[in-house]
Amino acid sequence: MSSFKTDVVIVGGGFAGITAARELTQRGASVILLEARDRLGGRTWTRDSDLGKSLDFGGTWVHWSQPHVWAEIERYGLPLVNSPSPDTALWQSGGQVKRGTAEEMFALLDPGMTAVLADSAALFPNPYRIHPVSDQVKGIDDITVAERINELGLDDDQQALVEGMWALNFNGRPEVSAYSQGLRWCALTGGNWHLLFEACASFKLADGTKALLEAIAAQTNADIRLNARVRGISSGADGARVELTTGEVVTARQVIVTLPLNILNSIDFTPALPSDLTAVATEGQASTGCKVWVRVKGSIGHVAALGPSSCPLNFFQYEYDVDGDSLIVAFGPDAHAIDVTDRSAVEAALQQWIPDIEVLAIDAHDWVADELARQTWPMLRPNQLEAVQTAAHNAFGRVRLAGSDYAEGWAGFIDGAIESGKRIAVCTLADLHP
């Protein structure tokens, strides 16, 4: 191609895509960003809700242990709020709900969680540099987190809690979730699972994740096109062609693709992506659960609940008071086990915990049914890590892959998306100016 419409096409306008756009345009590259949705944000989404507040329906929590997102929050001076600390905890044992303090529940969790994660620092001594994947990690990458838990000989209470914690962490079934993924996460907090839990559920952006997204987007002059879904990408010595479902073709010198792993195969790549990566995309990664916001009648106090993966909603916690009612956020490991748009179904799932709870209204987005996601946050299955990390560090013709799915550090978090977007922007600049 003798001329191009742009230096770089970025496919996808989540945190990875918009971060890469900022990094590239601030260094003189022209960028066209193609986003299939009618909004930016990807699997983060702050929007108004009939429940009485603006809420985050995708990625939400951030933490000071996450260097990339925290630096951006400080850069833009964005205010934070804390999720309330529970003073009452609920858990299940033998089909019965038990009630105690959060400290009592964490004491039950501690032996099993500590044992599951005992090898995190040894196997991931530098969790921000896991590529190439070591032989030691390859040696345990066929193990599920459920298999590791079952080796520990925990009592019934501990078993149910630890299994439930990993169902929550993966937003999926522990029996299909990679043990290596859990070790990676905990290595990022120095092997301290308490700090890991804090990182997952403590700090939120006061004005939602869109506040950070909009701050980053305001610092790029990229040509951002919404409702622009990509059908195919071909690249060769003479450049890259990105074809939209409308038939429009955008030519570029380089392409960055930031799609969730589970829909990577929805684009026709020429030349084809590596077979081990497309096999991972076909199999799908592990997070196929749900998140739902629930307004319940009256005050239920600062309560949190954690149960085994057999519960349709195996975790919930109180977040806000709205005119005397309680607003809680709940998660389940299997989006097919509960219809998060059905108020009665959500009420029945919560009544397993609090029999007299009355659900007034619900609001959720089904990310697994969403054809532009097919997953929640990225969490790998066994034997997927090497293919994904190898893909994250290589170009395929004129195409590079970015996103939280491909992060070395906090994969599965906004931090990982920003990390990946920054790194791939640097690689792409080098590709533009070899």
**How far is it, in rounded angstroms, from Cα 401 to Cα 273?**
10
Query: Are 12 and 400 within 8 A, CB to CB?
Result: no
- For range 158-186, the mean pLDDT: 98
- Identify the pLDDT of residue 93: 82
- For range 260-278, the mean pLDDT: 98
- Identify the pLDDT of residue 151: 98
What is the set of domains in the chain, with CATH numbers?
Answer: 6-43+207-285+373-432 (3.50.50.60), 106-191 (3.90.660.10)
Full-model pTM: 0.97
1 has a pLDDT exceeding 80: no
- Identify the pLDDT of residue 2: 56
Pairing of strands 359-364, 290-296: antiparallel
Name which of 244, 268, 209, 219 is nearest 31 in CA terms. 219
- Identify the pLDDT of residue 205: 99
16 has a pLDDT exceeding 60: yes
Q: What percent of the chain is predicted at pLDDT more than 90?
A: 98
- For range 58-63, the mean pLDDT: 98
pLDDT band at 3 (very low <50, low <70, confident <90, very high): confident
- Identify the pLDDT of residue 173: 98
Name which of 40, 67, 137, 170 is nearest 423 in CA terms. 67
State the Cα angle at 121 between 167 and 101, rounded to 5°.
45
**How far is it, in rounded angstroms, from Cα 343 to Cα 100?**
28
Tokens encoding 395: 């170009």
Question: What does the pLDDT look like over 328-347, one tens digit per residue?
Answer: 999 999 999 999 999 999 99
Q: Kindly report the average pLDDT of the chain as a whole number.
A: 98
Task: Write the secondary structure of the chain as one string of H (helix), E (strand) and C (coil).
Answer: CCCCCEEEEEECCCHHHHHHHHHHHCCCCCEEEECCCCCCCCCCCEEECCCCCEEECCCCEECCCCHHHHHHHHHHCCCEEECCCCCEEEEEECCEEEEECHHHHHHHHHHHHHHHCCCHHHHCCCCCCCCCCCHHHHHHCCCEHHHHHHCCCCCHHHHHHHHHHHHHHHCCCHHHCEHHHHHHHHHCCCCCHHHHHHHHHCEEECCCHHHHHHHHHCCCCCEEECCCCEEEEEEECCEEEEEECCCCEEEEEEEEECCCHHHHHHCEEECCCCHHHHHHHHHCCCCCCEEEEEEECCCCCCEEEECCCCCCCCEEEEEEEECCEEEEEEEECCCCCCCCCCHHHHHHHHHCCCCCCCEEEEEECCCCCCCCCCCCCCCCCCCCHHHHHHHHCCCECCEEECCHHHCCCCCCCHHHHHHHHHHHHHHHHHHHCC
Question: What does the pLDDT look like over 110-128, one tens digit per residue?
Answer: 999 999 999 999 999 999 9
Name which of 348, 304, 352, 355 is nearest 326 in CA terms. 304
271 has a pLDDT exceeding 90: yes
- For range 163-177, the mean pLDDT: 98
- For range 384-401, the mean pLDDT: 98
Question: What does the pLDDT look like over 217-264, one tens digit per residue?
Answer: 999 999 999 999 999 999 999 999 999 999 999 999 999 999 999 999
**Which residues sit opposite 396 in a β-bridge?**
399
Question: What does the pLDDT look like over 290-320, one tens digit per residue?
Answer: 999 999 999 999 999 999 999 999 999 999 9
**How far is it, in rounded angstroms, from Cα 360 to Cα 184?**
39
Tokens encoding 113: 């969680």
Long-range contacts of 214-218 (CB under 8 A, 24+ apart): 215/72, 215/76, 215/78, 216/15, 216/18, 216/19, 216/22, 216/72, 217/18, 217/21, 217/22, 217/40
**How far is it, in rounded angstroms, from Cα 111 to Cα 158?**
8
pLDDT band at 194 (very low <50, low <70, confident <90, very high): very high
pLDDT band at 71 (very low <50, low <70, confident <90, very high): very high
- Identify the pLDDT of residue 147: 98
- Identify the pLDDT of residue 95: 84
- Identify the pLDDT of residue 9: 99
State the Cα angle at 364 between 57 and 407, rounded to 5°.
35
- For range 182-198, the mean pLDDT: 97
- For range 53-70, the mean pLDDT: 98
* Cβ burial 236-275 (10 Å sphere, 16+ → b, else e): eeebbbbbbeeeeebbbbbbbbbbbbbbbbbbebeeebee
- Identify the pLDDT of residue 263: 98
- Identify the pLDDT of residue 292: 99
Query: Are 424 and 402 within 8 A, CB to CB?
Result: yes
